[in-house]
Structure 1
Amino acid sequence: MSSLPARVILLAGPSGSGKSSLAARTGLPVLALDDFYKDGDDPSLPVLPGGTGIDWDAPRSWNADAAVAAVAALCAEGVADTPVYDIAASAAGGCARLDLGGSPLFVAEGIFAAEIVARCRELGLLADAVCLRGRPATTARRRFVRDLREGRKAVPFLLRRGWHLMRAERAIVDRQVALGCHPCGADEALPRILAAPITEVAPSAGSAR
Protein backbone atom coordinates (compact mmCIF):
# COMPACT_ATOMS: atom_id res chain seq x y z
CA MET A 1 0.00 0.00 0.00
CA SER A 2 1.11 3.56 -0.70
CA SER A 3 2.03 5.60 2.38
CA LEU A 4 0.62 8.74 0.74
CA PRO A 5 -3.08 9.59 0.39
CA ALA A 6 -4.46 8.88 -3.08
CA ARG A 7 -5.57 11.65 -5.42
CA VAL A 8 -8.43 11.76 -7.92
CA ILE A 9 -8.46 12.68 -11.59
CA LEU A 10 -11.96 13.93 -12.45
CA LEU A 11 -12.99 13.04 -16.00
CA ALA A 12 -15.98 15.01 -17.26
CA GLY A 13 -17.57 15.52 -20.67
CA PRO A 14 -20.95 15.29 -22.38
CA SER A 15 -22.86 12.01 -22.33
CA GLY A 16 -21.39 9.81 -25.07
CA SER A 17 -18.06 11.62 -25.26
CA GLY A 18 -16.10 8.45 -24.46
CA LYS A 19 -15.34 8.95 -20.76
CA SER A 20 -15.83 5.34 -19.69
CA SER A 21 -13.74 3.98 -22.56
CA LEU A 22 -10.94 6.43 -21.89
CA ALA A 23 -10.99 5.74 -18.15
CA ALA A 24 -10.63 2.01 -18.83
CA ARG A 25 -7.67 2.67 -21.16
CA THR A 26 -5.72 4.44 -18.42
CA GLY A 27 -5.34 1.22 -16.42
CA LEU A 28 -6.11 3.16 -13.23
CA PRO A 29 -8.90 2.26 -10.80
CA VAL A 30 -12.17 3.89 -11.91
CA LEU A 31 -15.03 5.32 -9.85
CA ALA A 32 -18.21 5.56 -11.98
CA LEU A 33 -19.83 8.80 -10.85
CA ASP A 34 -23.03 8.09 -12.79
CA ASP A 35 -23.79 5.49 -10.10
CA PHE A 36 -24.58 8.39 -7.79
CA TYR A 37 -27.76 9.41 -9.60
CA LYS A 38 -30.75 9.87 -7.30
CA ASP A 39 -33.50 7.26 -7.35
CA GLY A 40 -36.48 8.02 -9.56
CA ASP A 41 -38.81 8.52 -6.59
CA ASP A 42 -36.61 11.15 -4.93
CA PRO A 43 -38.78 14.27 -4.42
CA SER A 44 -35.79 16.58 -5.00
CA LEU A 45 -35.36 15.49 -8.63
CA PRO A 46 -35.61 18.34 -11.16
CA VAL A 47 -38.34 18.16 -13.79
CA LEU A 48 -38.36 19.14 -17.44
CA PRO A 49 -40.24 22.28 -18.54
CA GLY A 50 -43.95 21.65 -18.49
CA GLY A 51 -43.54 18.80 -16.01
CA THR A 52 -43.11 16.27 -18.82
CA GLY A 53 -40.60 14.12 -16.93
CA ILE A 54 -37.42 14.11 -14.88
CA ASP A 55 -34.48 16.12 -16.16
CA TRP A 56 -31.72 13.52 -15.81
CA ASP A 57 -29.20 15.89 -17.41
CA ALA A 58 -29.52 18.49 -14.65
CA PRO A 59 -26.90 18.34 -11.88
CA ARG A 60 -29.66 18.22 -9.22
CA SER A 61 -30.57 14.72 -10.45
CA TRP A 62 -27.24 13.58 -9.02
CA ASN A 63 -26.07 13.16 -5.41
CA ALA A 64 -22.93 15.28 -5.32
CA ASP A 65 -22.50 14.91 -1.54
CA ALA A 66 -22.40 11.11 -1.76
CA ALA A 67 -19.97 11.27 -4.69
CA VAL A 68 -17.58 13.56 -2.82
CA ALA A 69 -17.81 11.32 0.26
CA ALA A 70 -16.81 8.30 -1.84
CA VAL A 71 -13.91 10.19 -3.43
CA ALA A 72 -12.73 11.32 0.01
CA ALA A 73 -12.93 7.77 1.38
CA LEU A 74 -10.94 6.40 -1.54
CA CYS A 75 -8.28 9.06 -1.13
CA ALA A 76 -7.99 8.49 2.62
CA GLU A 77 -8.55 4.75 2.98
CA GLY A 78 -8.03 3.31 -0.50
CA VAL A 79 -11.44 1.57 -0.41
CA ALA A 80 -15.07 2.67 -0.57
CA ASP A 81 -18.50 1.12 -0.89
CA THR A 82 -20.38 2.65 -3.83
CA PRO A 83 -23.88 2.25 -5.27
CA VAL A 84 -24.58 0.30 -8.45
CA TYR A 85 -27.17 2.27 -10.39
CA ASP A 86 -29.61 0.75 -12.86
CA ILE A 87 -30.39 3.50 -15.37
CA ALA A 88 -33.27 1.59 -16.95
CA ALA A 89 -34.92 1.22 -13.52
CA SER A 90 -33.90 4.72 -12.35
CA ALA A 91 -32.71 3.27 -9.04
CA ALA A 92 -29.66 1.91 -7.28
CA GLY A 93 -29.75 -1.88 -7.37
CA GLY A 94 -27.08 -2.68 -4.82
CA CYS A 95 -23.56 -1.68 -3.87
CA ALA A 96 -20.00 -2.62 -4.72
CA ARG A 97 -16.63 -2.14 -3.07
CA LEU A 98 -13.93 -0.29 -4.99
CA ASP A 99 -10.38 -1.02 -3.82
CA LEU A 100 -7.54 1.08 -5.22
CA GLY A 101 -5.03 -1.69 -4.51
CA GLY A 102 -2.44 0.82 -3.38
CA SER A 103 -2.68 3.02 -6.49
CA PRO A 104 -1.85 6.66 -5.68
CA LEU A 105 -4.22 7.85 -8.41
CA PHE A 106 -7.70 6.92 -9.61
CA VAL A 107 -10.15 8.25 -12.18
CA ALA A 108 -13.67 9.38 -11.25
CA GLU A 109 -15.66 9.75 -14.45
CA GLY A 110 -19.18 10.94 -15.20
CA ILE A 111 -21.25 13.66 -16.84
CA PHE A 112 -21.37 15.63 -13.57
CA ALA A 113 -17.71 15.23 -12.60
CA ALA A 114 -17.07 18.94 -13.14
CA GLU A 115 -19.64 19.77 -10.47
CA ILE A 116 -17.27 18.57 -7.73
CA VAL A 117 -13.98 19.98 -9.01
CA ALA A 118 -14.00 22.91 -6.58
CA ARG A 119 -14.95 20.73 -3.58
CA CYS A 120 -12.26 18.15 -4.35
CA ARG A 121 -9.71 20.90 -4.76
CA GLU A 122 -10.70 22.51 -1.44
CA LEU A 123 -10.36 19.14 0.30
CA GLY A 124 -6.91 18.60 -1.20
CA LEU A 125 -8.05 15.51 -3.14
CA LEU A 126 -7.60 16.68 -6.74
CA ALA A 127 -4.75 15.65 -9.05
CA ASP A 128 -6.37 16.92 -12.27
CA ALA A 129 -9.72 17.61 -13.94
CA VAL A 130 -10.33 16.94 -17.63
CA CYS A 131 -13.32 17.51 -19.92
CA LEU A 132 -13.52 15.36 -23.06
CA ARG A 133 -14.75 17.26 -26.08
CA GLY A 134 -15.35 16.30 -29.70
CA ARG A 135 -17.80 16.74 -32.55
CA PRO A 136 -21.40 16.96 -31.31
CA ALA A 137 -22.67 14.72 -34.13
CA THR A 138 -20.11 12.02 -33.28
CA THR A 139 -20.97 12.24 -29.59
CA ALA A 140 -24.70 11.98 -30.37
CA ARG A 141 -24.22 8.90 -32.55
CA ARG A 142 -22.03 7.15 -29.98
CA ARG A 143 -24.49 8.00 -27.18
CA PHE A 144 -27.54 6.70 -29.06
CA VAL A 145 -25.86 3.41 -30.03
CA ARG A 146 -24.72 2.84 -26.43
CA ASP A 147 -28.07 3.71 -24.86
CA LEU A 148 -29.96 1.55 -27.34
CA ARG A 149 -27.61 -1.40 -26.82
CA GLU A 150 -27.91 -1.15 -23.05
CA GLY A 151 -31.67 -0.59 -23.09
CA ARG A 152 -31.31 2.48 -20.89
CA LYS A 153 -34.61 4.15 -21.84
CA ALA A 154 -37.37 3.96 -24.47
CA VAL A 155 -36.35 4.91 -28.01
CA PRO A 156 -38.55 8.06 -28.24
CA PHE A 157 -36.97 9.36 -25.03
CA LEU A 158 -33.47 8.62 -26.35
CA LEU A 159 -34.17 10.46 -29.60
CA ARG A 160 -35.58 13.54 -27.85
CA ARG A 161 -32.76 13.61 -25.34
CA GLY A 162 -30.14 13.02 -28.02
CA TRP A 163 -31.35 15.93 -30.14
CA HIS A 164 -31.40 18.24 -27.13
CA LEU A 165 -27.91 17.21 -25.96
CA MET A 166 -26.39 17.53 -29.42
CA ARG A 167 -27.63 21.13 -29.66
CA ALA A 168 -26.46 21.88 -26.10
CA GLU A 169 -23.07 20.13 -26.28
CA ARG A 170 -20.89 23.19 -26.75
CA ALA A 171 -22.60 24.94 -23.83
CA ILE A 172 -22.14 21.80 -21.69
CA VAL A 173 -18.40 21.77 -22.43
CA ASP A 174 -18.12 25.52 -21.75
CA ARG A 175 -19.77 25.05 -18.35
CA GLN A 176 -17.46 22.20 -17.39
CA VAL A 177 -14.41 24.22 -18.39
CA ALA A 178 -15.69 27.15 -16.31
CA LEU A 179 -16.00 24.78 -13.36
CA GLY A 180 -12.29 23.94 -13.59
CA CYS A 181 -11.79 21.20 -16.20
CA HIS A 182 -9.14 21.23 -18.90
CA PRO A 183 -10.84 20.66 -22.31
CA CYS A 184 -9.25 18.20 -24.72
CA GLY A 185 -9.85 15.28 -27.04
CA ALA A 186 -9.13 11.68 -26.11
CA ASP A 187 -5.72 11.72 -27.82
CA GLU A 188 -4.56 14.51 -25.52
CA ALA A 189 -6.48 13.37 -22.46
CA LEU A 190 -4.92 9.91 -22.17
CA PRO A 191 -1.26 10.99 -21.92
CA ARG A 192 -2.29 13.90 -19.67
CA ILE A 193 -3.99 11.51 -17.25
CA LEU A 194 -1.10 9.03 -17.34
CA ALA A 195 1.31 11.86 -16.54
CA ALA A 196 -0.82 13.32 -13.73
CA PRO A 197 1.15 14.11 -10.57
CA ILE A 198 0.20 12.62 -7.22
CA THR A 199 -0.13 16.15 -5.87
CA GLU A 200 -2.66 18.64 -7.20
CA VAL A 201 -2.00 20.54 -10.43
CA ALA A 202 -2.77 24.22 -10.79
CA PRO A 203 -6.16 25.17 -12.32
CA SER A 204 -6.28 25.76 -16.08
CA ALA A 205 -6.08 29.37 -17.19
CA GLY A 206 -9.52 30.94 -17.19
CA SER A 207 -11.14 28.17 -15.16
CA ALA A 208 -13.24 28.84 -12.10
CA ARG A 209 -11.71 28.33 -8.67
Structure 2
Amino acid sequence: MTDCSPVHRVVLLAGPSGSGKSRLARESGLPVLNLDHFYRDGDDPGMPRHPDLGIIDWDDPRAWDAERAVETLVQLCRTGSAQVPVYDIAHDRTVGAEPFSVGAAPVFVAEGLFAADIVDACKARGILADAIVLHRRPWKNFLRRLVRDLAEHRKPPLTLLRRGRQLMRAEREIVERQRALGARPASAQDVRQALRDAAGTTSGMP
Protein backbone atom coordinates (compact mmCIF):
# COMPACT_ATOMS: atom_id res chain seq x y z
CA MET A 1 0.00 0.00 0.00
CA THR A 2 1.41 3.43 -0.95
CA ASP A 3 0.78 6.58 1.09
CA CYS A 4 -0.57 9.46 -1.00
CA SER A 5 1.41 12.56 -1.90
CA PRO A 6 4.27 12.82 0.61
CA VAL A 7 5.51 16.39 1.02
CA HIS A 8 9.09 15.22 1.51
CA ARG A 9 11.11 12.14 0.59
CA VAL A 10 14.06 10.41 2.21
CA VAL A 11 17.50 9.28 1.06
CA LEU A 12 18.52 6.18 3.02
CA LEU A 13 22.28 6.11 3.62
CA ALA A 14 23.63 2.79 4.92
CA GLY A 15 27.14 1.51 5.50
CA PRO A 16 29.37 -0.23 8.02
CA SER A 17 29.94 1.37 11.40
CA GLY A 18 32.69 3.98 11.16
CA SER A 19 32.47 4.36 7.39
CA GLY A 20 31.74 8.11 7.59
CA LYS A 21 28.00 8.12 6.85
CA SER A 22 27.21 10.81 9.40
CA ARG A 23 29.92 13.19 8.21
CA LEU A 24 28.97 12.86 4.55
CA ALA A 25 25.30 13.34 5.39
CA ARG A 26 26.04 16.52 7.37
CA GLU A 27 28.24 17.89 4.58
CA SER A 28 25.27 17.72 2.18
CA GLY A 29 23.45 20.54 3.96
CA LEU A 30 20.28 18.43 3.99
CA PRO A 31 18.42 17.65 7.23
CA VAL A 32 19.89 14.44 8.70
CA LEU A 33 18.14 11.87 10.89
CA ASN A 34 20.37 9.37 12.71
CA LEU A 35 18.63 6.00 12.50
CA ASP A 36 20.98 4.47 15.08
CA HIS A 37 18.77 6.06 17.77
CA PHE A 38 16.07 3.52 16.92
CA TYR A 39 17.75 0.63 18.74
CA ARG A 40 15.66 -1.40 21.17
CA ASP A 41 16.37 -1.13 24.88
CA GLY A 42 18.99 -3.50 26.24
CA ASP A 43 16.53 -5.27 28.55
CA ASP A 44 14.23 -6.16 25.65
CA PRO A 45 14.07 -10.00 25.77
CA GLY A 46 14.50 -10.15 22.00
CA MET A 47 17.86 -8.34 21.98
CA PRO A 48 20.57 -10.52 20.37
CA ARG A 49 23.86 -11.04 22.20
CA HIS A 50 27.31 -11.45 20.69
CA PRO A 51 28.42 -15.09 21.13
CA ASP A 52 32.07 -14.20 21.78
CA LEU A 53 31.95 -10.82 23.52
CA GLY A 54 28.91 -11.46 25.71
CA ILE A 55 27.45 -8.00 25.02
CA ILE A 56 24.45 -6.92 22.98
CA ASP A 57 25.19 -7.44 19.30
CA TRP A 58 24.63 -3.94 17.93
CA ASP A 59 25.37 -5.18 14.41
CA ASP A 60 22.45 -7.62 14.38
CA PRO A 61 19.33 -6.09 12.76
CA ARG A 62 17.19 -7.71 15.49
CA ALA A 63 18.61 -5.09 17.88
CA TRP A 64 17.00 -2.33 15.82
CA ASP A 65 13.33 -1.27 15.71
CA ALA A 66 12.72 -1.09 11.95
CA GLU A 67 8.95 -0.63 12.30
CA ARG A 68 9.34 2.40 14.56
CA ALA A 69 11.92 3.89 12.21
CA VAL A 70 9.67 3.51 9.16
CA GLU A 71 6.63 5.02 10.91
CA THR A 72 8.74 8.00 11.99
CA LEU A 73 10.02 8.49 8.43
CA VAL A 74 6.48 8.33 7.08
CA GLN A 75 5.38 11.00 9.57
CA LEU A 76 8.34 13.20 8.61
CA CYS A 77 7.56 12.83 4.91
CA ARG A 78 3.89 13.65 5.43
CA THR A 79 4.12 16.46 7.99
CA GLY A 80 7.77 17.57 8.08
CA SER A 81 8.25 16.99 11.82
CA ALA A 82 8.24 14.24 14.44
CA GLN A 83 9.51 13.35 17.90
CA VAL A 84 12.54 11.06 17.54
CA PRO A 85 14.23 8.92 20.21
CA VAL A 86 17.58 9.68 21.83
CA TYR A 87 19.51 6.46 22.46
CA ASP A 88 22.52 6.03 24.76
CA ILE A 89 24.56 2.99 23.72
CA ALA A 90 26.69 3.22 26.87
CA HIS A 91 23.50 2.60 28.90
CA ASP A 92 21.81 0.35 26.31
CA ARG A 93 18.54 2.27 26.21
CA THR A 94 16.48 5.21 24.98
CA VAL A 95 17.03 8.09 27.38
CA GLY A 96 14.66 10.66 25.91
CA ALA A 97 13.15 12.17 22.79
CA GLU A 98 13.64 15.34 20.80
CA PRO A 99 11.85 17.14 17.96
CA PHE A 100 13.16 16.74 14.42
CA SER A 101 12.07 18.95 11.53
CA VAL A 102 12.69 18.64 7.81
CA GLY A 103 11.91 22.32 7.31
CA ALA A 104 11.43 23.41 3.71
CA ALA A 105 13.78 20.78 2.25
CA PRO A 106 12.01 18.46 -0.21
CA VAL A 107 14.48 15.67 0.66
CA PHE A 108 16.26 14.66 3.86
CA VAL A 109 18.82 11.99 4.76
CA ALA A 110 18.23 9.09 7.15
CA GLU A 111 21.57 7.44 7.87
CA GLY A 112 22.48 4.40 9.92
CA LEU A 113 23.86 0.90 10.00
CA PHE A 114 20.49 -0.67 9.16
CA ALA A 115 19.14 1.92 6.72
CA ALA A 116 19.07 -0.66 3.92
CA ASP A 117 16.76 -2.91 5.97
CA ILE A 118 13.86 -0.51 5.34
CA VAL A 119 14.36 0.14 1.62
CA ASP A 120 11.39 -1.98 0.58
CA ALA A 121 9.14 -0.54 3.31
CA CYS A 122 9.97 3.02 2.30
CA LYS A 123 9.35 2.19 -1.37
CA ALA A 124 5.98 0.69 -0.47
CA ARG A 125 5.03 3.84 1.44
CA GLY A 126 6.04 6.08 -1.47
CA ILE A 127 8.67 8.06 0.47
CA LEU A 128 11.99 6.79 -0.92
CA ALA A 129 14.17 9.18 -2.96
CA ASP A 130 17.32 7.01 -3.04
CA ALA A 131 19.08 4.22 -1.13
CA ILE A 132 22.88 4.11 -0.93
CA VAL A 133 25.43 1.97 0.91
CA LEU A 134 28.77 3.70 1.53
CA HIS A 135 31.68 1.42 0.65
CA ARG A 136 35.18 2.31 1.91
CA ARG A 137 38.37 0.48 2.89
CA PRO A 138 37.71 -1.75 5.96
CA TRP A 139 40.95 -0.84 7.78
CA LYS A 140 40.12 2.87 7.53
CA ASN A 141 36.65 2.21 8.90
CA PHE A 142 38.24 0.25 11.76
CA LEU A 143 40.37 3.23 12.76
CA ARG A 144 37.54 5.77 12.41
CA ARG A 145 35.19 3.57 14.42
CA LEU A 146 37.72 2.94 17.19
CA VAL A 147 38.59 6.63 17.58
CA ARG A 148 34.89 7.57 17.68
CA ASP A 149 33.86 4.86 20.14
CA LEU A 150 36.76 5.57 22.49
CA ALA A 151 36.01 9.30 22.45
CA GLU A 152 32.34 8.62 23.26
CA HIS A 153 33.16 5.99 25.94
CA ARG A 154 30.70 3.62 24.32
CA LYS A 155 32.20 0.46 25.86
CA PRO A 156 35.48 -0.57 27.58
CA PRO A 157 38.52 -0.16 25.27
CA LEU A 158 39.31 -3.88 25.01
CA THR A 159 35.71 -4.66 24.05
CA LEU A 160 35.79 -1.95 21.38
CA LEU A 161 39.08 -3.27 19.99
CA ARG A 162 37.87 -6.88 19.81
CA ARG A 163 34.52 -5.87 18.31
CA GLY A 164 36.24 -3.59 15.80
CA ARG A 165 38.54 -6.35 14.55
CA GLN A 166 35.59 -8.69 14.04
CA LEU A 167 33.64 -6.01 12.19
CA MET A 168 36.60 -5.30 9.93
CA ARG A 169 36.77 -8.96 8.91
CA ALA A 170 33.00 -9.06 8.27
CA GLU A 171 32.75 -5.73 6.46
CA ARG A 172 32.52 -6.97 2.87
CA GLU A 173 29.73 -9.30 3.91
CA ILE A 174 27.92 -6.38 5.61
CA VAL A 175 28.11 -4.25 2.46
CA GLU A 176 26.93 -7.14 0.27
CA ARG A 177 23.93 -7.72 2.56
CA GLN A 178 22.94 -4.06 2.28
CA ARG A 179 23.33 -4.16 -1.49
CA ALA A 180 21.06 -7.22 -1.63
CA LEU A 181 18.46 -5.29 0.39
CA GLY A 182 18.30 -2.61 -2.29
CA ALA A 183 20.98 -0.03 -1.48
CA ARG A 184 23.39 0.77 -4.30
CA PRO A 185 27.11 0.70 -3.37
CA ALA A 186 28.91 4.02 -3.70
CA SER A 187 32.26 5.57 -2.82
CA ALA A 188 32.47 8.65 -0.60
CA GLN A 189 32.79 10.83 -3.71
CA ASP A 190 29.73 9.22 -5.29
CA VAL A 191 27.74 9.69 -2.08
CA ARG A 192 28.66 13.38 -2.01
CA GLN A 193 27.45 13.78 -5.58
CA ALA A 194 24.22 11.86 -4.94
CA LEU A 195 23.41 14.03 -1.93
CA ARG A 196 24.24 17.20 -3.86
CA ASP A 197 21.83 16.04 -6.54
CA ALA A 198 19.19 15.30 -3.89
CA ALA A 199 19.69 18.74 -2.34
CA GLY A 200 18.87 20.28 -5.72
CA THR A 201 15.62 18.33 -6.06
CA THR A 202 12.58 20.50 -6.62
CA SER A 203 9.47 20.15 -4.49
CA GLY A 204 7.50 18.57 -7.32
CA MET A 205 7.35 14.80 -6.76
CA PRO A 206 5.93 12.03 -8.86
Per the TM superposition, whether the score is higher than 0.5 is yes
Q: Supply the distance in 2 between the matched residues of 1:31 and 1:147 (Cα, whole angstroms).
A: 20
Structure 1 segments of 4 or more deviating over 3 A? 197-200
Show structure 2 runs of 5+ residues with no match: none
Q: Which residue in 1 is equivalent to 2:79?
A: 77
Superposed displacement of residue 51, structure 1: 8.5
Superposed displacement of residue 189, structure 1: 0.6
Aligned pair count reads 198
Q: Confirm or deny that 1:28 pairs with 2:25.
A: no
Per-residue Cα deviation, 1:163-207 (whole angstroms, up to 9, x for no partner): 11000000000010111111111111111122135648xxxxxxx
Contact 1:131 1:184 in 2 (8 A): yes
Q: Which residue in 2 is equivalent to 1:55?
A: 57
Per-residue Cα deviation, 1:17-63 (whole angstroms, up to 9, x for no partner): 00100110010111110000111111110122268232111000000
Pairing partner for 2:67 from 62, 65, 68: 65
Contact 1:4 1:104 in 2 (8 A): no
TM-score, length-scaled by structure 1: 0.91
Name the Cα RMSD after superposition: 1.6
TM-score, length-scaled by structure 2: 0.92
Pairing partner for 2:174 from 134, 156, 172: 172
Q: Which residue in 2 is equivalent to 1:203?
A: none
Amino acid at match of 1:105: V
Q: Supply the distance in 2 between the matched residues of 1:62 and 1:81 (Cα, whole angstroms).
A: 18
Identity of aligned residues (%): 53
Show structure 1 runs of 5+ residues with no match: 201-209
Q: Supply the distance in 2 between the matched residues of 1:37 and 1:156 (Cα, whole angstroms).
A: 23
Q: Which residue in 1 is equivalent to 2:18?
A: 16
Aligned 1:158-197 pairs, distance under 5 A: 158-196=160-198, 197=201
Contact 2:6 2:127 in 1 (8 A): no
Q: Supply the distance in 2 between the matched residues of 1:83 and 1:4 (Cα, whole angstroms).
A: 22
Q: Supply the distance in 1 between the matched residues of 2:75 and 2:26 (Cα, whole angstroms).
A: 21
Q: Supply the distance in 2 between the matched residues of 1:150 and 1:52 (Cα, whole angstroms).
A: 21
Q: Supply the distance in 2 between the matched residues of 1:12 and 1:65 (Cα, whole angstroms).
A: 17
